[in-house]
Structure formats: structure tokens, C-alpha cells
Amino acid sequence: MKCFLLLVLVIGLDLSSANSIPSYNHYRLPTALRPQKYYLRILTLLESPDDLRFVGNVQIVIEALKNTRNITLHSKNLTIDESRITLRQISGASNKDNCVSSTSVNPTHDYYIMHTCEELLAGNVYKLGLPFSADLTRQLFGYYLSSYKNPVTNKTRWLSATQFEPSFARKAFPCFDEPGFKASFVVTLGYHKQFKAISNMPVREIRKHESLQNYIWCEFQESVPMSTYLVAYSVNDFTFKPSTLPNGALFRTWARPNAIDQCNYAAEFGPKVLQYYEEFFGIRYPLPKIDQMAVPDFSAGAMENWGLVKYRESTLLYSPNHSSLADKQDLANVIAHELAHQWFGNLVTMKWWTDLWLNEGFATYVAGLGVQKIHPEWDSRDKSSLVALMASFRLDSLVSSHPISRPIRMVAEIEESFDAISYQKGSAVLRMMHLFMGEESFRTGLKEYLKLYAYKNAEQNNLWESLTTAAHQNGALAGHYDINTIMDSWTLQTGYPVLNITRDYSAGTAEITQERYLRNSQIPQADRVGCWWVPLSYTSREENDFNTTAPKAWMECSSTDEGVPTIIDHQAGPDEWLILNIQLSTPYKANYDARNWKLLIDALNSKEFESIHVINRAQLLDDVLYFAWTGEQDYETALQVTNYLRRERDLIPWKSALDNLKLLNRILRQTPNFGSFKRYMKRLLTPIYEHLHGMNDTFSSMPQQDEVLLKTTVVNVACQYDVSDCVTQAQAYFRRWRAEANPDENNPVPLNLRSTVYCTAIGQGTEEDWNFLWTRYRKSNVGSERQTILSTLGCSKEVWILQRYMEKSFDPKSAIRKQDSSLCFQAVASGQVGFLLAKQYFIENVELIHKYYYPQTRTMSRLLTPLSEQVSTLSDLKKFRSFANDSRQLLKGIRQAMQQSLETMLTNVQWMDWNYHQFSRTIRRHL
């Protein structure tokens, strides 16, 4: 009876209000229709602070591919005036009116469904007109509001901006919001004449508004066919710095007027790297212009909209007086990344978000090449390769990681895919391909792929096909191998392998086997299955060839996908070391037998350590520290490797070591044996600290830029471990700054030491020190400086100051912009006192934090990283587990990140159980 009533109720509802019952509930749009062109008109009202909104009309030219009686497209939080919807058939001889009889919505998938009066017939073209409007909100997606203070009048200036990727174009106008529906766009923006407008294309015409006084319509040229997530526009009162491209395209860099002098570097670097890509990809940049714009409120680091790339201020603006070399390199990298997307992503787009990595992995990899080309002195290719490898090793050693190519069913899942797997592992496997195929085949294959799929969509198999053809033509790959089989083992499988290498010292051979590498050492052998096609490159002490990355052999997988043990004939003598994986060209870990480790340790701890390639030195450190963590090696072996760092003067191995040692620091620093670890670190760091002249300002006399970064990095850890005079010098610098009459104009702290100096001084300092730095933050006009300050304000050890800071960071009314709040929380959570508070704060305020970020969950998931690195007791782990369980709803968008955090915490607990005592004993022997 109850059931029957319910049924009647449901049916009844269906009849009376067609609006809320979804008639179509699949997560992808139906394929009966294809949009060809959008005429998009939007009037933006920015004058009165309590009436900030937009009113629009979109005319979509739609081709029917199949007969259908409905038009289903995306629309979210838009008010659509149904009575004014128009529909007309515009093809063929009979140009006739059709109409919409009723509409319904499906809120789960953001669908707006129009039922048509007459059936739409395959082959015909229709024009659909939809009037819509919405408020401009302060959320950082869709068509939204940003602001800044005019420093002269101290008045708030409003501007509008867009952020559509991955699925927010639907919040700005009704559209077929999937990457596969490419169409051309004619954008027309209406606004008060005190403003300017920019969009993807150049302006075609400006005319007066037909009725609103002082308003104008600005029409832009028709775009090339493109996906909705790349559409962009903005109404603002910015100014720009022009640069000219060699091929004649207009290149402009936009910022608020008071920051325009910080655009010089971006205006100089942008065109250079764009030109490099034109050569690299063999295709001209196809639009007549490109703008890059610094938006004061921006959620992503930057966004590659075609012809109108948007950035945070901190990733586009550079001030020689306020930004460090690391800031400058970061911003070059971001620009190079976004401009690479103009080809990889914009010209050729993934069919569906499953292949997001084609966009992000490529842009990440190619950015390293682009920056290398423009600034060879930065050595950025090797550095960014190492960063990518290390980040993917870390995440991908978790059972809760995921394959590069990942099925996507929900909008929330798309957002989750913008992670280290898509970016860093994606980049690492592309580099692997580049290095095993060689320059010629890689470039030819890429060019072919881009030419074939220009203005269209592609999936990874399409790329594999082009590359296989090129590699076979060039003889870079044996005829019976194909890229498809090799690469699928890397992109469709989660994880990466560890290769176990057992040498036969008399025969000059070695046997190699593989299995999945996992950080959780309790996972049984049977669950470490998997097989990866591994290009085998190696060298020995005698041969010493660290240049040839082309494989000497391959580790293959059987037809049942099992690893086939492989014998290599390496010819190394019994007293020579053997190293696999030249320049870490493939993302796997290499474990050797004890005798080979001994030979490597001897080489590293001798004068000849530099005969091993710098990336391979980083590899040995990273591998042995992982193996010691998971029990494949003991800490005695690991420390014998790290001991050689007393000789090391290169940034790359130091980065590798410090990242790993930081993890030990994070779980040891709340334990009674931390003292020994601290002493050990001091011992390692002292020689290099002294070699670099400690905290003294020696930057101007440095012959190599690389040394600047090395010093920045070393000094930063040196102060944490109280090396030599680091802390007292840092405090002295800070005192000198505080004593300045005009500290916002004059800052005596060397640019590249500022982060260390601020953090150290705040960590040891008073409330006045904190307030002083906070005031500098409020007065600063430079994005990167503001970020440095926000990250160092969290270094305090005062409980109440940290609590106040965390509250500020999630308060919409505070001086901290939403985009920066995660920086503050992360800074607090990374501190030894702050961690305990942040842990508590997160658990107690998860609802508030969720509300603050939703639905942009990517930022929220970042809050977990510093927490997961430090939780190392069983009781804390249990607390987090039940918290995760109880707050399932609030943590929905960060489900994957939460699982990964819990697994990381578990491996920390395991470490404490199994390694803590062994490690403590061993480290004492090395003091």
C-alpha cells in the first residue's frame, strides 16, 4: 500500500511539475545534436556594489545528427527566461519556426532540457536562442567578481573574470559543456564605458548600447573551433604592456594599473617561449593575438584560455626588488606551461576528461623544455624532471593512487584528476618516451599528431599511433614493438615497478626482475603484481656513459601480463659499480644486491663521486631512502649513501635527499630521539653551509645561477637544524628590517633569503614581530612577496597567534584572499607546534572549511598533505579514520585525497613500529 502511494506520488509529481524529474540521467550529453557556433552577448553590471550581475543572450547554431525531440545542454545557477526562448530551423530551403513546449532540469548533471514542439531532424541546422542572467559571485569559478583597492583613492575597484575549466562555462551561459563539443564563438560584451573588455579574440567592433546611456557593446572576432572550457572574457580597468611576436601576432600583458611595472618579465618571456613552441610543434600560433592577464582573485595557478591566458598575480608579475630567483623561475615555468597548452589542449583537445593527462602531463613536460631553451643557465629541464619523478614516486607508491588514464563519471571526479598523477607522472612518462625514442622520432610523431587532430579531439591511442609510425620510420623502435603496448603499461596501470638487480660477478651479467613498488610494506607479494615495459639503459664505472638514454635492452611483459625475468650482459668487471636507468629516464626504482650497493657507496664517498651523473646521484639517494623506509634495505646502507652529501655541491641530489629527510623529520620531531637526527642533519649540512658562506649576502658574486637556488635551499634547512650562525644571522637581518624608518620601501634582507629570514625570525619572535610582518603583507603590492609572507607567518610557535592566523585564513572578510588561504593553513600545519593545532582545527572545523571551498575541492585536498606527513601514532590514525568516516558527506569532493592521506599516515605508523629503534641506533653510529 505504502509503495503504491509512493508510486502515485512520483507519477503525480511527474505530471504536475515536469521541472524536477530528470528525463535523461546519463553523465554525458546525448549525441543527437552538435553545436557549431555560439553568438554570446553578455551585459556586465559593475557600477553599483550591491547590484553586480550579468544579463546575457546566447544564440547557438546546432546541427542535428539524429532525429530528436529534445535539446539537452548544461546550465548551472542561471536564470533562464523560458518565455523568451526561440528555436528556428535555419538550414535547407525551409527556414521555419520551431518552438520549445516545455523544459525540465536534471540538477545532478546540470542539465537543462528543452522539449521541442516539432521533432528536430537529422541533417538540419537550427538556431536556439536563450536569454539568461545571474549574479556575479565571489566564488572563483564561472563568470565571477574580483576586486582590488586603488591605492590613491583607497576605493575598491571591481572587475569580472572567468574560470571555466573543467565544467563551469555552464555557470556563465547555457552551453554544451563537454570538451568534445568544439564550436566557434562570437563573443559580444556590454559594459559601462569606463571599463575595457578582453576575450579570446581581438575586438571587431565597438558600438553604443542601444538603450543604456554610457554603455557600449564590444564585439570580438569569431574564434576558431574550440571547447567551452577555453572561452574567456573579462571586464576591467586594467592597463597592458605590449610586446610583439615575430610572426606579427599581438602579445599583451595586462594587470591593474598599479602593478603594470611588474609585467616586464612576463612580456619579455612569453613571446620567446611561444616562438620556441612554434618551432618545436611545427605549427604557427593560430590566433591573431594573445593576452595574458593577472587576476587579483584566481583559484588555479593559471589558466590557458585560448588567446587570453589568466594568472594569479603571483604567477605572472615579477618585481626585481621584491621577487626571488625561485619566484622568477616559477613564473617562467607557469607561463611556459600555459603557452604549451595553446597547442596541447587548445588546438588538440582530449575527447573526454579521462585523458586529462594529455593536456596537463604534456604542458608540464614541455614547459621544462621551453624554460630550458630560454634560460639555459637555470638548468630547468633536469630540475623539473626530478621534481616530476619525485612527486609521482611518492603518490604512486600508494595502493590508493590511480592510473594516469582514469575513467570519469562525475564532475567531482574531473576536479580530482588535476593531481600529481596527471601532471607529474604524466610528464615523467612523456619524458621516458622522449628519451627512449630519441629527439627525431619524438618530434616527428608529435608534429604529425598535432597536424592530424588540429581543431579536433583525440585520445591517447591517437598519440601512440603517430609516435609508433615515427619511431618505426626512424628505426628508433624495433618493428615488432609498438608504443601502444609499451605505454599502456604505464598509463592504464596504477603504480610503478621496482627492479631487483642481481649481478653475476664472474659472468658480467645481471638478472633483473620486477614487481610493483608499494610504501605499505604489509601488502603481500601476491598483491604486488603488475608488469611494466621497461627500457633498460645502464652503465658501469669503466664505460661511464651517462648520455645514452636509448635502451640497450627491454624488459618485456608476457601475453598474460607477467614480468619476464631478464638477463643483461653488462660487461662490468667484478669491482666496478653498475647503475641502471641513465638520468632516471624511466620512472622505476632500482634495487641492487649488497655488493653492488657497496661499490656504489664507495664511489659516492670518494673523490670520483662526480663521475656518476647528477640525476643518478639524486636517484641513488631517493631509492635507498625509500628502500630503507620500506625495509628492502637497512638504514645503515641508506646512511652510508647520504653521508656522501658532505661532498655534494649540486642542487639536484640535495633536493632529492632533503625531500626524503624532511619526511623523517616530520615523524621524528615529536619523539625523544629527535636530538640525534638533528645532530646528524647538522653534520651533513655544515660543510655546504660554510662552502656557500652561510647567510652572508654573496649572491651578486655567484658565477652560476644554480648556486643561488642551492644557497636558498641549504640556508633554509640550516636554520631549521640550528646550523652554525644561521638563526642569529636571520634574526639580525629581521631586526635591521624592523629598524627601518620606511620598511615597505627599504628591506635590507637579501631577496633570496627572505623566506628563511622571516620564518626563522617569526619562529623565535614576539607578537610585535608577527604584527610587523602582517602589516608588511597588507601594504605589499607584489604577489610573490605577499605569498612569501603568508607562508612564513605560519612559522610562529605561539599557540594563540597560530589559532588567530588559522581563523583569519578562512574568514571571507579578512585580508587573505580565498586563493591564498591554503598557503596559510599549510604553513601552520607544517610547524611542530602548528601541526598539533592544525590537526585539531581541521577536524573541528571541517564543515566551515568545506563550505568555504565547495565545489572547488582541489584546494581543500591540499590542506591534508602536511597533516598526513606528520600523523604517526596509531591513536591519531584511528582518530582520522573515524573522522573520515563520520564526515563522509563533507569530504565527498576530496575522497581520493583523504584515502591517500590515511594510507600515508598508516605507513608512518608502520615506520614507527618497525624502524624507529633501528634507525635511532644506526644514526647514533654516524654522529
Q: Which is nearer to ligand BES, 367 or 512 (CB)?
A: 367
Binding mask 311-350 for Zn ion (x = CB under 5 A): ----------------------------------------
Cβ neighbors of 271 (< 8 A, separation 6 or more) are 243, 244, 245, 246, 251
| Residue list for the binding site for Zn(2+) | 337, 341, 360
Alpha-helical regions (H) of 212-355: 264-281, 313-316, 325-341
CA gyration radius for the chain? 29
Residue of 475, 448, 473, 441 lying closest to 463 (CA atoms):
448
**Residue 337 near ligand BES by CB under 6 A:** yes
Q: Which is nearer to Zn ion, 363 or 828 (CB)?
A: 363
Tell me which amino acid residue 161 is: A
Cell of 689: 653551509
748 binds, among Zn ion, ligand BES, none (CB under 5 to 8 A by kind): none
Residue closest to ligand BES (Cβ): 301
Q: How far is the CB of 91 from ligand BES (least distance, A)?
A: 36
Cβ neighbors of 626 (< 8 A, separation 6 or more) are 393, 397, 517, 519, 589, 660
Residue of 856, 855, 859, 767 lying closest to 809 (CA atoms):
859
Q: Which is nearer to ligand BES, 168 or 689 (CB)?
A: 168
**Residue 363 near Zn ion by CB under 5 A:** yes
Q: Which is nearer to Zn ion, 335 or 363 (CB)?
A: 363
**Residue 541 near ligand BES by CB under 6 A:** no
**Residue 341 near ligand BES by CB under 6 A:** yes
**Residue 827 near Zn ion by CB under 5 A:** no
Cβ neighbors of 125 (< 8 A, separation 6 or more) are 36, 61, 62, 63, 64, 89, 90, 91
Helix (H, G, I), strand (E, B) or coil at 145: strand
166 binds, among ligand BES, Zn ion, none (CB under 5 to 8 A by kind): ligand BES
265 binds, among Zn ion, ligand BES, none (CB under 5 to 8 A by kind): none
334 binds, among ligand BES, Zn ion, none (CB under 5 to 8 A by kind): ligand BES
Q: How far is the CB of 788 from Zn ion (least distance, A)?
A: 24
CB 259 within 8 A of CB 223: no
Q: How far is the CB of 423 from ligand BES (least distance, A)?
A: 6
Residue of 743, 815, 790 lying closest to 149 (CA atoms):
815
Buried b / exposed e across 685-701, counting CB within 10 Å, b at 16+? Answer: bbebbeebebbeeebee
User: Is 119 tagged catalytic?
Assistant: no
Segment lying near ligand BES (by CB under 6 A), choices 75-83, 333-341, 756-764, 886-894: 333-341
Count of residues interacting with ligand BES (CB under 6 A):
15
**Residue 303 near ligand BES by CB under 6 A:** yes
Q: How far is the CB of 454 from Zn ion (least distance, A)?
A: 19
Q: How far is the CB of 614 from ligand BES (least distance, A)?
A: 24
Binding ligand BES (rule: CB under 6 A), the pick from 40, 100, 134, 334 is 334
Cα angle, residue 593 at apex, residues 587 and 595 outer, rounded to 5°: 125
Q: Footprint of ligand BES on residues 31-70 (CB under 6 A)?
A: none
165 binds, among Zn ion, ligand BES, none (CB under 5 to 8 A by kind): ligand BES
Binding ligand BES (rule: CB under 6 A), the pick from 56, 142, 166, 765 is 166
Segment lying near ligand BES (by CB under 6 A), choices 332-340, 426-434, 747-755, 865-873: 332-340
Segment lying near ligand BES (by CB under 6 A), choices 336-344, 472-480, 656-664, 712-720: 336-344
Catalytic, out of 278, 313, 338, 903: 338
Cell of 594: 649488497
Q: Is 286 exposed, middle or buried (0-12, 13-18, 19+ CB in 10 A)?
A: middle
Q: How many CB atoms lie within 10 A of CB 498?
A: 22
Q: How far is the CB of 756 from Zn ion (least distance, A)?
A: 30
Residues in a beta bridge with 162: 143
303 binds, among ligand BES, Zn ion, none (CB under 5 to 8 A by kind): ligand BES
**CA separation for the pair 147, 256 (Å, rounded):** 10
CB 237 within 8 A of CB 257: yes
Q: Which is nearer to Zn ion, 363 or 420 (CB)?
A: 363
Q: How far is the CB of 306 from ligand BES (least distance, A)?
A: 12
Cβ neighbors of 703 (< 8 A, separation 6 or more) are none
Segment lying near Zn ion (by CB under 5 A), choices 15-23, 360-368, 464-472, 879-887: 360-368
**CA separation for the pair 498, 682 (Å, rounded):** 32
Binding mask 262-301 for ligand BES (x = CB under 6 A): --------------------------------------xx
**Residue 707 near ligand BES by CB under 6 A:** no
Q: Which is nearer to Zn ion, 295 or 898 (CB)?
A: 295
User: Taking the CA of residue 262 as centre, how many other CA atoms within 13 Å lie in the half-sphere pointing to its CB?
Assistant: 27
**CA separation for the pair 200, 183 (Å, rounded):** 13
Helix (H, G, I), strand (E, B) or coil at 312: strand
Q: Footprint of ligand BES on residues 400-429 (CB under 6 A)?
A: 418
Classify the C-alpha dihedral 312-315-317-323 as positive or negative: positive
Q: Footprint of ligand BES on residues 797-826 (CB under 6 A)?
A: none
Q: Which is it for strands 289-295 and 250-255: parallel, antiparallel or unpaired? A: parallel
Q: Which is nearer to ligand BES, 141 or 880 (CB)?
A: 141
**CA separation for the pair 323, 329 (Å, rounded):** 10
Q: How far is the CB of 200 from ligand BES (least distance, A)?
A: 15
Q: Which is nearer to Zn ion, 339 or 695 (CB)?
A: 339
**CA separation for the pair 738, 761 (Å, rounded):** 11
Q: What are the helix and strand counts (H, E) for the chain?
A: 31, 31
| Residue list for the binding site | 165, 301-305, 337, 341, 360, 858
**Residue 302 near ligand BES by CB under 6 A:** yes
Q: How far is the CB of 341 from Zn ion (least distance, A)?
A: 6
Binding ligand BES (rule: CB under 6 A), the pick from 110, 278, 291, 338 is 338
**Residue 165 near ligand BES by CB under 6 A:** yes
Q: How far is the CB of 349 from Zn ion (least distance, A)?
A: 13
Helix (H, G, I), strand (E, B) or coil at 3: helix
Task: Report the residue count for the chain.
Answer: 927
Peptide bond into 271 cis (omega under 30): no
Angle between helices 594-604 and 614-630 (to 10 degrees): 130
Beta strands in 183-304 (DSSP E): 184-192, 196-199, 203-208, 215-220, 233-236, 239-244, 250-255, 289-295, 302-303
Binding ligand BES (rule: CB under 6 A), the pick from 177, 178, 304, 820 is 304
Percent of the chain that is helix, strand, coil (3-state, to 5): 45, 20, 35
Residue matched to cell numbers 535539446: 71
Q: Which is nearer to ligand BES, 324 or 596 (CB)?
A: 324
389 binds, among Zn ion, ligand BES, none (CB under 5 to 8 A by kind): none
User: First-to-last CA distance in the chain?
Assistant: 80
| Residue list for the binding site for substrate | 165, 301-305, 858
Q: Which is nearer to Zn ion, 297 or 360 (CB)?
A: 360
Q: Which is nearer to ligand BES, 418 or 734 (CB)?
A: 418
Q: How far is the CB of 818 from Zn ion (least distance, A)?
A: 20
418 binds, among ligand BES, Zn ion, none (CB under 5 to 8 A by kind): ligand BES
**CA separation for the pair 160, 97 (Å, rounded):** 36
Interface positions with Zn ion (CB under 5 A): 360, 363
Residues designated as active site: 338
Interface positions with ligand BES (CB under 6 A): 165-166, 300-304, 334, 337-338, 341, 360, 363, 418, 858
